[in-house]
Amino acid sequence: MRRGGSWRSSASALHQAVVQPVLPLVKTATRLIIVPDGTLHVVPFDTLLGAADIDGVVTSISPSANVFFLLRTRPQTVHSDARALLAIGGVPYDRMFSSSAPTLRASRSTDDARGFYDASFPLALPVLATAQQEVLSIARTVGPSSVTLVGDEAAESRFKAQDLRTFEIVHFAVHAVADPKSPERAALVLLDDPATGDDGLLQPREIARMRFSNAVVVLSACDTSVGPTIGQEGVQNLARAFLLAGAQSVVTTLWSVSDATSMALMRGFYENLTMGQDIAEALANAKRLVTGRFGPNALPTVSAFQVVGLGDHRLQARRRVPTAAPRTN
């Protein structure tokens, strides 16, 4: 959408150019796997379809046809000690990057106009008021096998110490950094750890060396889809790094999102997952619920979230009656 323009007029123009030619197929589909090209990677397709009175279609994004084929044919590994959820959030940002600079607004990103690595702008990150609550809430929903890393435990070193191959879902409720010109500088911002030398910035080069076993990674943070396009292979961003590391799908955001609305959306998403809905279906239904509850003000945040990769995974460790609180590591 053009800055300052009407999203409805932009949606109408996109509908005419993108949806109208395939309208007969779209209207009869229940699920769409979309392979965008170029700037279409920043289009919220489910919102676009809803604006065109085509609602109820479950959508997911594939970076490319090659990526979709590789994800679909990659061997599925099941661990005997598999756990449903690893969730990290509630990072004490007030103890990091201390600065006299004004604190940024309470969304889950840094300012678009000034880079995280700009030495002329020493960054001060605000504590995300609802992030720890989000992590603990979804862990209770998923069940007692969940592992949570919050507060002082929400450190990069503590995350790296986990056996990531054993988790079905890995959830981040944190600040994120996007750098469209230097995608290798993108990062999820966790707590630093001077004892191990970890700076708290979980970056693509580190993520790509990790090993997930067809997990779903949820990035409840801002701008996690942002990056330069790389021809027919999609976008060079955080989501791509997680797919390279073995994730089968990543829930990402196209732009900055509201802290409180993100928490409401994630609660609905995980409730749907525990009822047996797959990843893309659970997110689509949570979007409808939050938009219906909070109205148009929720639309910018709701529209930002999308599923990249395979959207038909269902949670295997289905919700059980909790016998103990989710444990922290």
| Predicted pLDDT at 121 | 38
Confidence of residue 329 (pLDDT cuts 50, 70, 90): low
Top-ranked range on mean pLDDT: pick from 101-110, 231-240, 267-276: 267-276
* Each residue's pLDDT tens digit, 101-118: 444 445 555 544 445 554
| Predicted pLDDT at 145 | 87
**How far apart, in Å, are the Cα atoms of 220 and each of 27, 82, 259?**
30, 23, 9
| Predicted pLDDT at 14 | 77
* Each residue's pLDDT tens digit, 186-201: 999 999 999 999 999 9
Report the SS3 class of residue 137.
Answer: helix
Task: With CA atoms as reference, report the closest residue to 57 among 48, 70, 66, 68.
Answer: 48
Report the SS3 class of residue 3.
Answer: coil
Looking at this protein, which amino acid is placed at residue 157? S
Return the domain boundaries, the chain: 70-314
CA distance 69 to 34: 13
Confidence of residue 228 (pLDDT cuts 50, 70, 90): confident
CA distance 304 to 255: 6
CA distance 1 to 42: 9
Read off φ and ψ for residue 89, nearest 5 degrees: 180, -175
| Predicted pLDDT at 47 | 84
Q: Which residue has the higher pLDDT, 314 or 18?
A: 314
* Mean pLDDT taken over the chain: 84
97, burial (CB in 10 Å: exposed 0-12, middle 13-18, buried 19+): middle
Q: What is the dotted CATH code of the domain comprising 70-314?
A: 3.40.50.1460
- E strand map for 190-295: 201-202, 216-219, 249-253
Task: With CA atoms as reference, report the closest residue to 285 among 271, 300, 295, 299.
Answer: 271
**In which residue are the tokens 């994630």 written?**
266
CA distance 241 to 212: 11
Q: What is the DSSP letter of 17?
A: I
